[in-house]
């Protein structure tokens, strides 16, 4: 794409995350599985994680949500893979700094991504305490609904 002049508007990095989402799918035999679920719209984000002593060994996500969720999930997993859990907890703020001011809809998408990640850690903890929990689910309080008259950029 070196000889192609990209148009103004959407950040090419964002387009790349949409075209080729990173860490997308599910891990085999994860240590934890977490879901953020919006029961009003049936949208979900699901995380599978493998933890090592010093942090997040591997991480995958999947969603049936909008492209904002896809981009934030891709950026988030790329940022936290190989990092400590503490670092991961602050990663959403770093993404916000990278993307600029998030719209209310994008904030809800970011919350869905982060909640699914947190749910996967809760699942790890619950399993370690002997609970039989296939996945931990956090229900979303707000819906990612596009307000009338706005597009979902």
Partner 1 sequence: MNKLYQIKHELWLDILYASFAIENSEIKDKLYDFSMIAFRHMKWLGGDILEAGDDYNYDRSKMLLKRECNFDIFKYLIEEIRAAQSHYEESTLTARITTDEIYLVEYLSALLSNSTNNEKITAFNMHRTLPNKNLDALQTDSLTIFLFEESYKEYELILVYAYMQARTDNLLHFNVFQDLIDESHFHLKSFGNMMAKMGILALPRELHELTYKITDIEKFIIDGIKEEENAKEQCKALADAVNDTELSQFFDFINYQENYHIALMEKLLPKK
C-beta of 33 vs 114, nearer to partner 1:
33
- Please state at what angle helix 91-99 crosses helix 104-128, rounded to 10 degrees: 160
- Please state at what angle helix 67-80 crosses helix 12-19, rounded to 10 degrees: 90
Report, in Å, the least distance between residue 127 CB and partner 1: 19
CA atoms 81, 116, 14, 27: torsion sign: positive
| Cα separation, 19 vs 43, whole angstroms | 20
Report, in Å, the least distance between residue 31 CB and partner 1: 18
List contacts with partner 1 (CB under 8 A). 1, 4-10, 12, 15, 18-21, 24-26, 35, 41-42, 44, 46, 62-64, 66-67, 70, 146, 148-149, 151-153
Report, in Å, the least distance between residue 82 CB and partner 1: 21
| Cα separation, 90 vs 142, whole angstroms | 21
C-beta of 43 vs 111, nearer to partner 1:
43
Report, in Å, the least distance between residue 14 CB and partner 1: 10
């Amino acid at each position: 794409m070196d000889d192609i002049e990209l148009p103004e508007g959407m950040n090419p990095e964002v387009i790349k995350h949409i075209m080729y989402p990173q860490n997308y799918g599910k891990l085999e035999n994860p240590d934890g599985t977490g879901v953020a679920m919006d029961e009003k719209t049936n949208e979900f984000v699901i995380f599978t994680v493998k933890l090592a002593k010093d942090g997040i060994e591997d991480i995958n996500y999947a969603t049936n949500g909008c492209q904002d969720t896809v981009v934030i999930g891709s950026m988030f997993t790329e940022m936290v893979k190989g990092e400590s859990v503490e670092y991961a907890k602050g990663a959403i703020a770093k993404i916000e700094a990278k993307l600029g001011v998030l719209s209310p809809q994008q904030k809800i998408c970011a919350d869905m991504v982060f909640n699914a990640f947190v749910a996967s850690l809760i699942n790890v903890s619950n399993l370690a305490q002997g609970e039989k929990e296939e996945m931990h689910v956090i229900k979303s309080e707000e819906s990612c609904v596009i307000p009338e008259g706005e597009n979902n950029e």
